[in-house]
Structure 1
Amino acid sequence: MLSVCIPVYNVDVTCLTEKLIKQADELSINIEILIYDDGSKNDYKIINRSLKSFDQIRYKELKKNIGSAAIRNRMAVDALYNSLLFIDSDSEIPVDYLEKYLPHITNSKMIVCGGRVHPKQLPSLDKSLRWKVGKFKEDFSAAHRNKVPNKSFMSNNFLVKRELFNKIQFDETIERSGHEDTMFGIKLELLGIHIFHIDNPIVHIGLESNMEFITKTEQRLETLKIIESKNGDNHLLYDRITILRYYRILKKLKLIGLSGVLFLRSKDFLSGLLQNTNPSMLIYDLYKLGYYSHISKKIIQ
């Protein structure tokens, strides 16, 4: 028996849920699918409300957006079954998706992550940055992810026992999406909880436009700054997040102010470079380091 948890925000999940039900029927698995809407636009709510007619689906609309960490915690508490499978709503699953998780459902001592991949071809030119970041920084095999398993944790596609999850949960003080996966992986490592990666990736199809992704990147960095201010003594934070390692070097060299000033002067130019058809990952990393220096400089002052 399996509880599939799908937090939804401005996504049509009818196709995803119908595929899950079909696969479960073919495998004779008893499943429930929790679809919790976290403050979507009304157009998406109207579409997804049609799923209430399925016996396997529990559809719920939250009165206000509570964020990706809190909604996952709430779904875990509300789930009927002991095995939880979390899937991001903007995902496309392979035909043998549930089948590949079956051998791991009885394991109560570890978290199993299936991974993520992005479309083989660039879907559209205005999504080149998110697509390339995904291809270069996220699309890794299970063998690669298992080298540093906790660092490679992603919440978009993972299986866990409810008792284990409820002992840990996501950090709800991280209200905006950004690095809750990182902190969850660090917490697991500190508690000695094992993460095992398998090759069962979903396809991430909900790619943001270049400008939307740049804005989201900035928001994630602002969230990271809050996390760092609260957890600055945690060595794993700097080990797991590359941008913080380079920021620390700049800080030791007393170059944060200069880095922030240079970023402001070149921000528009760098943003333009990131929106071309083949954006440089080096430029993307420099943009992140510059923006982080900029917001850190404001806080220091």
Structure 2
Amino acid sequence: MLSILIPTYNYDILPLVSQLHKQATQANIYFEIRVQEDDKNSTLVAQNAIINTWENCYYDVNDSRQGWCLNRNILIEKSKGDKILFLDVDTLPVNNNFISTYVELNLDENPFVFGGWNYKENYEKGFELRYFYGVNREAIPLHKRINNPYNTAFTSNLYYKKSAIPNLRFESNLTKYGYDDILFINDIKKNNKPILHIENPIYHLGLEKSEVYFNKVVESVLNLSILYKQNQMSAQESKIIKAFQILQKYYLTNLFIYFFTICKPLFRKNILSAKPSLFYLDLYKLGTFCLSMRDSK
């Protein structure tokens, strides 16, 4: 049985679920689609609940806010199938054979499969940062993903066999945004399970305004510093940590912090502009990480 799991927070789920339901029905397979709503006060609850009238579809609402990780773990616990397909709610399959492409795979041979991300070319003014980041850092071509399978996989559009690692869950202690999916992928790696990369992409539609996404990036770096202090993330999984350790090795951390403090307003202005530099974003992230590590001493 295939369990399609979709965590959501105040989002119109009908376009995605409708397409998935149509494809799964046409594939003539035993399936369920489970959506877990984490905002009980959302004005979309009544509308989204319509999918409960669709065959094999379930829309449940949490009594209280659970957060990104716990909400996903709730879905895993509720899932009845051994075949799991995780999707973010702000996505759509690129191809009409999206579901059939997955179910035709042999999960006994390849228990974890990632199909890739794509971005549509059109975007609104003010959303440049999220679009440029997504196109350059997330929409990674298949040939590059194959050469670096763990560091180029995401938990959205991840198809896997649940019994391959029965206790595989998201890190429930994380409360800030960011790096929870990397920890999930790291657990797959630690269990010596390969990730097969194929061309079966989804469109990521949920672009955020540049300032909103920028604030989330800063929050994710603070989350990374906590994970680093707890020995849950290393230089092998994070280029920020790797760069920080190089600065430490050559006693350049304080000098970089001084440089970052002076240039911080200029970096921010560029990052939020119509032509953001991802290099400046990387420097901003590294500076934020260095400051967080210094202030925690």
What's the TM-score once normalised by structure 2's chain length?
0.93
Give the letter aligned to residue 124 of structure 1: E
Residue 200 of structure 2 corresponds to residue 203 of structure 1: no
2-structure distance, mates of 1:143, 1:103: 21
Question: Is 65-74 or 18-27 further displaced after alignment?
Answer: 65-74
Residue in 1 aligned with 2:78?
78
Residue in 1 aligned with 2:168?
168
Give the letter aligned to residue 73 of structure 1: N
Give the letter aligned to residue 167 of structure 2: K
Superposition deviation, residue 273 in structure 1: 0.6
Change (3 A) 1:206 1:161: same
Residue 285 of structure 2 corresponds to residue 288 of structure 1: yes
Residue in 2 aligned with 1:5?
5
Change (3 A) 1:170 1:281: same
Superposition deviation, residue 252 in structure 1: 2.0
Q: Which runs of 4+ in 1 moved over 6 A?
A: none
Paired residues of 2:110 and 2:196 also in contact (CA < 8 A)? no
Residue in 2 aligned with 1:240?
237
1:242-297 superposed Cα distances (whole Å, 9 cap, x missing partner): 11111111122333333334333333321111112221111111111111112222
1-structure distance, mates of 2:33, 2:153: 23
2-structure distance, mates of 1:176, 1:165: 26
What secondary structure is seen at the aligned counterpart in 1 of 2:147?
coil
Matches within 5 A, 1:1-301: 1-39=1-39, 41-94=41-94, 95-104=96-105, 106-107=107-108, 110-121=111-122, 123-231=123-231, 237-300=234-297
1-structure distance, mates of 2:66, 2:258: 35
1:198-220 superposed Cα distances (whole Å, 9 cap, x missing partner): 11110000011100011000111
1:82-103 superposed Cα distances (whole Å, 9 cap, x missing partner): 1111000000112221121122
Give the letter aligned to residue 136 of structure 1: N
Superposition deviation, residue 113 in structure 1: 0.7
What secondary structure is seen at the aligned counterpart in 1 of 2:166?
helix
1:24-62 superposed Cα distances (whole Å, 9 cap, x missing partner): 121112221110012265123233122222122111111
Give the letter aligned to residue 259 of structure 1: F
Give the letter aligned to residue 244 of structure 1: I
Count of residue pairs brought into register by the alignment:
296
Percent identity between matched residues is 24
1:167-216 superposed Cα distances (whole Å, 9 cap, x missing partner): 22222222333112222222222221111111111000001110001100
Paired residues of 1:179 and 1:224 also in contact (CA < 8 A)? yes
Question: Is 171-180 or 105-114 further displaced after alignment?
Answer: 105-114
Paired residues of 2:114 and 2:159 also in contact (CA < 8 A)? yes
1:84-134 superposed Cα distances (whole Å, 9 cap, x missing partner): 11000000112221121122254365211111111123x112110010011
Question: Is 247-256 or 188-197 further displaced after alignment?
Answer: 247-256
2-structure distance, mates of 1:151, 1:225: 19
What secondary structure is seen at the aligned counterpart in 1 of 2:236?
helix
What secondary structure is seen at the aligned counterpart in 1 of 2:126?
helix
2-structure distance, mates of 1:168, 1:88: 18
What secondary structure is seen at the aligned counterpart in 1 of 2:3?
strand
